[in-house]
């Protein structure tokens, strides 16, 4: 099933640049693994903010939760999830 996932970055602004960059690099690496595993399908930026909107696919909410918690930035993200229902139009021939 698919989920719409919003993240807001809550990392304090005074975080040293090297810590920030190291976190970002690890975050990107883990995100790429989730893409490879078919869990993270699309990712957008909310313009102007340290925030993203993502389209995820997982077997159920618990599996999605585990994927999001596995992100190195998780402790510094405010995340909200919406479960999406497939629309009949999507199955149109």
23 binds a copy of itself (CB under 8 A): no
CB of residue 83 vs a copy of itself: minimum separation in angstroms? 4
Residue 85, CA distances (Å) to 38, 82, 91 in order: 18, 10, 12
* Structure-derived torsion over alpha carbons of residues 51, 44, 40, 50, reported in degrees to the nearest 10: -20
1 binds a copy of itself (CB under 8 A): yes
Token readout for 17 is: 């640049």
Binding positions for a copy of itself, rule: CB under 8 A? 1-5, 10, 13, 28, 31-32, 35, 42-49, 52-53, 60-62, 64-65, 68, 75-76, 78-87, 89-90, 92
């Amino acid at each position: 099933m698919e989920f719409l996932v919003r993240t807001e970055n809550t990392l304090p602004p005074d975080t040293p640049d090297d810590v920030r960059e190291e976190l970002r690099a690890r975050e990107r690496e883990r995100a790429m693994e989730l893409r490879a595993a078919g869990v993270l399908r699309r990712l957008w930026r909310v313009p102007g903010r340290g925030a993203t909107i993502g389209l995820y696919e997982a077997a159920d909410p618990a599996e999605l939760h585990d994927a999001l918690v596995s992100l190195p930035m998780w402790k510094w993200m405010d995340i909200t999830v919406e479960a999406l229902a497939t629309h009949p139009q999507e199955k149109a021939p």
